[in-house]
Amino acid sequence: MVGCGYVGEPLPPLIQIPGRISDLTAIQFGKHIKLSWTVPKFNTDGSAVTTLSRIEIYRLLSKSDSTVTIDGKLFVQSAIKWMVLDKANFGAYREGEKLVLADRLQGLDDREIFQAFFSYAIKAINQKKQDAGFSNLVTLKLLPVPNPPEEVHFSFGEQFIELSWQGPSYNIDGSPVEASLNFNVYRNLTPEARVKELLTRTPLEETRFKDTSMVLGQTYYYVVRSVITTPEGPIESFDSQEHKVKNVDTYPPRAPAEVVAISNGDSISLVWLPNTETDLAGYYVYRSGEEHDYQMLTEQMIAAASYVDKSVQKGKTYSYQIKAVDRNGNESNYSEEVSEKVE
Domain 150-246: top CATH class = mainly beta
Give whole-number Cα distances, 218 to 215, 245, 307, 330, in Å.
Answer: 6, 8, 35, 17
Nearest to 65 by CA among 142, 150, 141: 141
Give the pLDDT confidence score for residue 111 in this predicted structure. 86
> Which amino acid would we find at residue 122?
I
Q: Each residue of 244-266: pLDDT tens digit?
A: 999 999 999 999 999 999 999 99
Which residues sit opposite 54 in a β-bridge?
86, 125
- Residues whose CB is less than 8 angstroms from the CB of residue 22 and which lie 6 or more positions away in sequence, other chains included: 135, 136
pTM above 0.85, yes or no: no
> Thinking of the domain 257-341, which architecture would CATH place it in?
Sandwich (2.60)
Is 2.60.40.680 the CATH classification of the domain at 25-141?
A: no
pLDDT at 6 over 70: no
Alpha carbon 175 to chain centroid, angstroms = 31
Q: Is the dihedral of CA 296, 302, 308, 310 positive or negative?
A: negative
Q: Each residue of 131-150: pLDDT tens digit?
A: 999 999 999 999 999 999 99
Give the pLDDT confidence score for residue 291 in this predicted structure. 82
Give the pLDDT confidence score for residue 27 in this predicted structure. 96
Q: Each residue of 265-317: pLDDT tens digit?
A: 999 999 999 999 999 999 999 999 988 899 999 989 999 999 999 999 999 99
Mean pLDDT of 312-336: 96
- φ/ψ of 52, rounded to 5, equals -60, 130
Q: Rounded to whole angstroms, how far apart are CA atoms 239 and 221?
A: 12
- Report residue 1's pLDDT band, with 50, 70 and 90 as the boundaries: very low
Which helix (H) or strand (E) element contains residue 73?
A: none
Radius of gyration over alpha carbons of the chain, in Å?
34
Nearest to 107 by CA among 31, 174, 171: 31
Mean pLDDT of 30-52: 95
Mean pLDDT of 24-48: 95
Q: How many Cα atoms sit within 13 Å of 194 on the Cβ side?
A: 11
Among 25-29, 232-236, 302-306, the least confident range: 232-236
Q: Each residue of 182-201: pLDDT tens digit?
A: 999 999 999 999 889 999 99
Domain locations in the chain? 25-141, 150-246, 257-341
Give the pLDDT confidence score for residue 10 in this predicted structure. 59
Nearest to 104 by CA among 75, 76, 83, 125: 83
Q: Rounded to whole angstroms, how far apart are CA atoms 169 and 171?
A: 7
3-class secondary structure, 2: coil
Give the pLDDT confidence score for residue 8 in this predicted structure. 57
Q: Rounded to whole angstroms, how far apart are CA atoms 161 and 211?
A: 5
- Report residue 4's pLDDT band, with 50, 70 and 90 as the boundaries: low
